[in-house]
Amino acid sequence: MAAKVQQFDLPSSASSESDDAEPCLEDREVFFADEQLEDIDHNRRSDGTPTPQSPRPPSTGSQKSPRSRRQRTTSMSQSSKKTSAESILRSKTRTIYTAGRPPWYNSAGQQVEPFVIGICGGSASGKTTVATKIIESLDVPWVTLLSMDSFYKVLNEKQHEMAAHNEYNFDHPDAFDFELLKSTLQRLKEGRKVEVPIYNFVTHRRENRTKTMYGANVIIFEGILTFYNVDVLKMCDMKVFVDTDADVRLARRLHRDISQRGRDLEGVLKQYSTMVKPAFFYYIAPLMVHADIIVPRGGDNEVAIELIVQHVHTQLQLRGFKLREKLAHSYSGQPLPSSLYLLPDTPQIKGLHTFIRNKYTYRDEFIFYSKRLIRLVIEYALSLLPFKEIVVETSQGGVYHGKRGATDKICGVSILRAGETMEQAVCDVCKDIRIGKILIQTNLQTGEPELYYLRLPKDIKDYRVILMDATVATGAAAMMAIRVLLDHDVAEDNILLVSLLMAESGVHTIAYAFPQVKIVTSALDPEINERFYVLPGIGNFGDRYFGTEPSSIDD
Amino acid sequence: MGSADTTTVGKKLISDNNDTVEEYGPNLKILPSNDQVKELQTILRDKNTTRSDFKFYADRLIRLVIEESLNQLPFSKCVVTTPTGAKYKGLKYQKGNCGVSIVRSGEAMEQGLRDCCRSIRIGKILVESNADTHEARVVYAKFPDDISERKVLLMYPIMSTGNTVIKAIAVLKEHNVQEENIILSNLFCTPIAAKTLVTAFPKMKILTSEIHYVAPNNFGQKYFGTEYHGVEVTSNVQKTNFARRYSYDSD
């Protein structure tokens, strides 16, 4: 069972690991579709992935590591095969579109509270199986799974010794760090980034490394004492208690600890009778009163899981997670927002637009004139950054009252793929600028934007961010990107959204949701068609620039 | 420009467009100023700017000036079809333009022009000025054959007196280029030079990024890295002698 959990943990819980042992790696990254994207560098990092929830406390007697960590050199494709073979994401056959993060905010850009499901139940009652089945049936690609096992307290020498002799009580509430648990869950609920500790069951300490997680539309929080703390209990929107008979649980435990963890019968029984069983009756069983749903027999109970899934679906819809269509059809005919900075309408800019909008323009010309236009847009965007007045000495002997940029902490963030076309221009005008990337794709089935990949400079919160996307239609992708930056604690007024062409509705949407974000573009088009392309527009900018248009373009 | 003039002159910047029109007529245009442009100008004037920075920021300002100069070219309306099938009302530029750079510092602007117009023809004029009399003399000129039928983008970054440019325009006119077909592209201009040029060539268009009483005359040297460090120059007299001996022009 542990192995199964481990596999769905990667795609479903939106996590990656930061590794303190590698200070040279400055970028913080989160990898969403790590199974599918072929990026060796990232695979390397998302590879060594001991997930916090799989090792069970009773394995204390064993000298073996609860689960041997995979080598960093292990190729990712193997585990990816395992994962796709695993039933968790079975309904999806397409590659990349299966694991992105759908919007976690409503059409006004405001954070929508994720739906938190708390799962409680005795040891080996099948909590993770229930969680897995819920995730499977929910069919939302983005779920964060948080386990109480990550929050075991760090043991001192004496306790460590006790644990080695099966005498430390891991089933007692005192064994958990509820304060940390509370703050972590709270942050996840706010959609922010958290560093979840990785508990090492051999040393009984937290590892230096942590696991980076994000709040998702659905957060599942499971553990033996999830309903114990009142504050944590309040954060759960739905409380599920998995009630499996004691003999079944003991049988599972015996099977798991002996055959999988190499422990002896006597030790397991001793631990069960002195600690696991009493703890269940004293602390865990009474928590059943808090439950909204009690699931007898655990994961085999299809009816109960079906009910839970239906409820969650209703809740998610109520919270307004459907985005794109709503965005496209609002705010028509309103005055343009004051946060919009449109480049001066000069003949050259109009001429450049004529070239790149013309569908008969050859690609080399398209690229050339796009680059010229991009350069102008970037130069203009830089003029919107703060400046301070300075006085310099000139080579001619006098002084000159001039200006200097008030900050050198500027970084660019491009939204893949079209936004990348603007990176070169930013690098051309800002020496040694850092560039982050965000991959957002449209889910072809739902038409919703989904977040797949994110790599941002460390300390991005201290930076002014030039966020680049070549075209903005509904603004859905740009909104998601801005939301990501805000979640990384970038100040809203430090963000500049820079684009070649925007649709009016997109501008309204973004300005309404994020009034302090400066929006810069070289042209504004009035409409969006039913496929969310801007009209008259430019076509698919990325395809035209990179030469990946479908071979038959209808004339 | 040899005297040690340390008076503060920076504030006397003429940036307001209405003032410009009043003072220099409608054909002199200043690159729309913003903080960003101002920063570039500041860096270029700062004597502590390293050469690598100088070239980097000069290229950026040049690009902006060239883009703005191209705005002065004539265009006509046209309608194109976009990939979405919709019509876009755009405009297109006429063919038959060329660039002419004045050697040496004008050549610094050639790349900026090339970056905007890939295959544009570029002519050159070498004007030498006498260090004693400041009199300018044309040493070399090479243009496209049909320059008389073309619009000419004349490039020269620094104008203190305007003598060099006046000479260059005279040469263009000798080649039958119409005065109204010349667009002068410039980074830094003094009020005297501006006045002289608009008076002498009222039909020519001039685009500059700044009109200021002090022109950064070391532009060419710093851009191309030919400041004379090897020779110890102690006094102004020596400096003048040195310049005289090698007919060294301040730009």
Closest Cβ opposite residue B46 in set A392, A397, A538: A392
Lowest mean pLDDT among B18-22, B76-80, B164-168: B18-22
A359 and B6 within 8 Å at the Cβ level: the answer is: no
CB B183 within 8 A of CB B69: yes
A401 and B11 within 8 Å at the Cβ level: the answer is: yes
pLDDT of residue A77: 29
Q: What is the dihedral of CA A304, A310, A312, A315, to 10 degrees?
A: -140
With 0-12 / 13-18 / 19 or more C-beta atoms within 10 angstroms meaning exposed / middle / buried, residue A475 is buried
With 0-12 / 13-18 / 19 or more C-beta atoms within 10 angstroms meaning exposed / middle / buried, residue A464 is buried
Asked, for residue B233, whether it belongs to a domain, the answer is: no
- Which of B114, B143, B112 minimizes the C-alpha distance to B126? B143
For residue B104, is the peptide bond before it cis, meaning its omega torsion is within 30 degrees of 0?
yes
H/E element holding A528? strand A527-528
* Domain around A174: 6-321
Please give the structure tokens belonging to residue A244.
Answer: 């499996």
Quick one: closest CA in B to A528, which residue? B84
Asked if residue A298 and residue A264 are part of one domain, the reply reads yes
CA distance A199 to A163: 14
Asked if residue A521 and residue A372 are part of one domain, the reply reads yes
pLDDT of residue A165: 77
Quick one: closest CA in B to A533, which residue? B84
Which residues of chain B are within 8 Å of residue A390 when distances are taken between CB atoms?
42
How distant is the Cα of B77 from the closest Cα of chain A, in angstroms?
9
Asked if residue A487 and residue A340 are part of one domain, the reply reads yes
User: Residue A284: phi, psi to the nearest 5?
Assistant: -85, -50
* Domain around B152: 17-218
CB B55 within 8 A of CB B112: no
A400 and B45 within 8 Å at the Cβ level: the answer is: yes
Asked, for residue B228, whether it belongs to a domain, the answer is: no
Q: What is the DSSP letter of A105?
A: B
Give the end of a domain, one of A297, A321, A345: A321
Asked if residue A300 and residue A386 are part of one domain, the reply reads no
CA distance A125 to A121: 6
pLDDT of residue A330: 55
With 0-12 / 13-18 / 19 or more C-beta atoms within 10 angstroms meaning exposed / middle / buried, residue A520 is buried
Asked, for residue A552, whether it belongs to a domain, the answer is: no
Asked, for residue A432, whether it belongs to a domain, the answer is: yes
Asked if residue A403 and residue A267 are part of one domain, the reply reads no
B37 and A383 within 8 Å at the Cβ level: the answer is: yes
For β-strands A205-214 and A193-200, DSSP reports them as antiparallel
Q: Is B135 helix (H, G, I), strand (E, B) or coil?
A: coil
How distant is the Cα of B145 from the closest Cα of chain A, in angstroms?
27
A402 and B222 within 8 Å at the Cβ level: the answer is: no
CATH value at residue A247: 3.40.50.300
Q: Is B31 helix (H, G, I), strand (E, B) or coil?
A: coil
CB A144 within 8 A of CB A261: no
The set of long-range contacts for A254-259, using a CB threshold of 8 Å and a minimum separation of 24, is A256/A1, A256/A2, A256/A56, A256/A124, A257/A56, A257/A58, A257/A59
CA distance A220 to A131: 7
Q: What is the DSSP letter of B33?
A: P
CA distance A498 to A429: 15
Closest Cβ opposite residue A403 in set B5, B6, B38: B38
Quick one: closest CA in A to B75, which residue? A347
Q: Is A299 helix (H, G, I), strand (E, B) or coil?
A: helix
DSSP letters along A468-490, please? E-SEESSSHHHHHHHHHHHHTT-
Asked, for residue B241, whether it belongs to a domain, the answer is: no
Which parts of B43-86 are beta strand (E)? 75-81
Asked, for residue B22, whether it belongs to a domain, the answer is: yes
Closest Cβ opposite residue A539 in set B10, B13, B82: B82
Asked, for residue B245, whether it belongs to a domain, the answer is: no
Asked, for residue B88, whether it belongs to a domain, the answer is: yes
How distant is the Cα of A427 from the closest Cα of chain B, in angstroms?
12
CB A108 within 8 A of CB A44: no
How far apart, in Å, are the Cα atoms of A477 and each of A96, A419, A449, A450? 16, 11, 6, 8
Asked if residue A232 and residue A155 are part of one domain, the reply reads yes
CB B45 within 8 A of CB B216: yes
CB A492 within 8 A of CB A501: no
Please give the structure tokens belonging to residue B137.
Answer: 């003399």
pLDDT of residue B185: 95
Asked if residue A211 and residue A350 are part of one domain, the reply reads no
CA distance A40 to A544: 27
Which residues of chain B are within 8 Å of residue A399 when distances are taken between CB atoms?
6, 8-10
Distance of CA A419 to the CA centre of its chain: 20
Q: What angle do CA A131, A134, A137 make, to 5 degrees?
A: 150
Closest Cβ opposite residue B39 in set A394, A405, A544: A405
Q: What is the DSSP letter of A186?
A: H
Which residues of chain A are within 8 Å of residue B32 when distances are taken between CB atoms?
344
Which residues of chain B are within 8 Å of residue A432 when distances are taken between CB atoms?
none
Which residues of chain A are within 8 Å of residue B8 when distances are taken between CB atoms?
398-399, 401
Asked, for residue A232, whether it belongs to a domain, the answer is: yes
Give 3-state DSSP helix, strand, coil % of chain B, rounded to 5.
Answer: 40, 25, 35
Alpha-helix residue ranges (DSSP H) falling in A330-441:
347-357, 363-382, 423-429
- Which of B53, B132, B62, B56 minimizes the C-alpha distance to B99? B62
Asked, for residue A554, whether it belongs to a domain, the answer is: no
Asked if residue A285 and residue A373 are part of one domain, the reply reads no
B116 and A372 within 8 Å at the Cβ level: the answer is: yes
pLDDT in tens, chain A (555 residues): 333 333 333 333 333 333 333 333 333 444 443 333 333 333 333 333 333 333 344 433 334 334 433 333 222 222 333 333 222 333 332 222 234 555 666 666 666 677 889 999 988 888 888 888 887 777 665 677 888 888 888 888 888 888 777 778 888 888 889 999 998 888 888 767 677 888 776 777 788 777 766 666 788 898 988 898 888 888 898 999 998 888 888 998 888 878 776 778 888 888 888 888 888 988 998 998 998 889 888 878 888 888 888 888 888 777 765 555 555 555 556 678 889 999 988 899 999 999 999 989 888 899 999 999 999 999 999 999 999 999 998 888 888 999 998 888 899 999 988 889 999 999 988 888 999 999 888 776 666 777 888 888 888 989 999 999 998 888 888 888 998 888 888 998 999 999 999 988 888 888 877 888 999 999 998 877 777 778 888 888 888 888 887 765 444
Give the end of a domain, one of A265, A291, A321: A321
Q: Is the pLDDT of residue B154 over 90?
A: yes
- Which of A65, A71, A85 minimizes the C-alpha distance to A7? A85
Closest Cβ opposite residue B10 in set A347, A385, A399: A399
For an interface test with B, which of A341, A355, A358, A371 has the most B Cβ atoms less than 10 Å from its Cβ? A358
Q: Is the pLDDT of residue B167 over 60?
A: yes
B6 and A397 within 8 Å at the Cβ level: the answer is: yes
For β-strands A449-456 and A28-31, DSSP reports them as antiparallel
Quick one: closest CA in A to B50, which residue? A395
A393 and B47 within 8 Å at the Cβ level: the answer is: yes
Number of residues in chain B: 251
Distance of CA A232 to the CA centre of its chain: 22
pLDDT of residue A29: 40
CA distance A167 to A188: 34
- The type of residue at A4 is K
How far apart, in Å, are the Cα atoms of A467 and each of A371, A412, A476, A521, B165? 17, 6, 14, 12, 43
CA distance A162 to A156: 10
CATH value at residue A500: 3.40.50.2020
CA distance B131 to B246: 10
B55-90 tens-digit pLDDT: 999 999 999 999 999 988 888 899 999 888 888 999
Asked, for residue A381, whether it belongs to a domain, the answer is: yes
Please give the structure tokens belonging to residue A173.
Answer: 């509430």
A544 and B83 within 8 Å at the Cβ level: the answer is: yes
CA distance B186 to B159: 8
pLDDT of residue A119: 92
Closest Cβ opposite residue B90 in set A353, A535, A553: A353
Asked, for residue B239, whether it belongs to a domain, the answer is: no
For residue A66, is the peptide bond before it cis, meaning its omega torsion is within 30 degrees of 0?
no
Domain count, chain A: 2
- HSE-CB of A124 using CA atoms within 13 angstroms: 20
Quick one: closest CA in B to A429, which residue? B60
User: Residue A153: phi, psi to the nearest 5?
Assistant: -70, 155
Which residues of chain B are within 8 Å of residue A348 when distances are taken between CB atoms?
67-68, 70-71
pLDDT of residue A63: 40
Q: How many CB atoms lie within 10 A of CB A533?
A: 22
Q: What is the mean pLDDT of chain B?
A: 82
CA distance A370 to A383: 20
For an interface test with B, which of A355, A368, A392 has the most B Cβ atoms less than 10 Å from its Cβ? A392
CB A273 within 8 A of CB A211: no
Closest Cβ opposite residue A398 in set B5, B68, B70: B5
Domain count, chain B: 1
Residue pointed to by tokens 């039958």 = B176
Give the end of a domain, one of A260, A295, A321: A321
How distant is the Cα of A456 from the closest Cα of chain B, in angstroms?
26
Which residues of chain A are within 8 Å of residue B44 when distances are taken between CB atoms?
none
Q: What is the dihedral of CA B66, B70, B71, B74, to 10 degrees?
A: 170
Asked if residue A442 and residue A349 are part of one domain, the reply reads yes
Asked if residue A242 and residue A181 are part of one domain, the reply reads yes
Residues A266-293, buried b or exposed e (16+ Cβ, 10 A)?
A: ebbebbbeebbbebbeebbeebeebbeb
For β-strands A387-393 and A205-214, DSSP reports them as unpaired
Asked, for residue A555, whether it belongs to a domain, the answer is: no
B113 versus A41: the higher-pLDDT residue is: B113
B91 and A387 within 8 Å at the Cβ level: the answer is: no
A357 and B88 within 8 Å at the Cβ level: the answer is: yes
Asked if residue A46 and residue A32 are part of one domain, the reply reads yes
CATH value at residue B155: 3.40.50.2020
Which residues of chain A are within 8 Å of residue B216 when distances are taken between CB atoms?
394-396
B47 and A376 within 8 Å at the Cβ level: the answer is: no
For an interface test with A, which of B48, B56, B76, B80 has the most A Cβ atoms less than 10 Å from its Cβ? B80
A396 and B48 within 8 Å at the Cβ level: the answer is: no
A163 versus B204: the higher-pLDDT residue is: B204
Q: Is the pLDDT of residue B221 over 80?
A: yes
Asked if residue A360 and residue A295 are part of one domain, the reply reads no
Q: Is the pLDDT of residue B10 over 60?
A: no
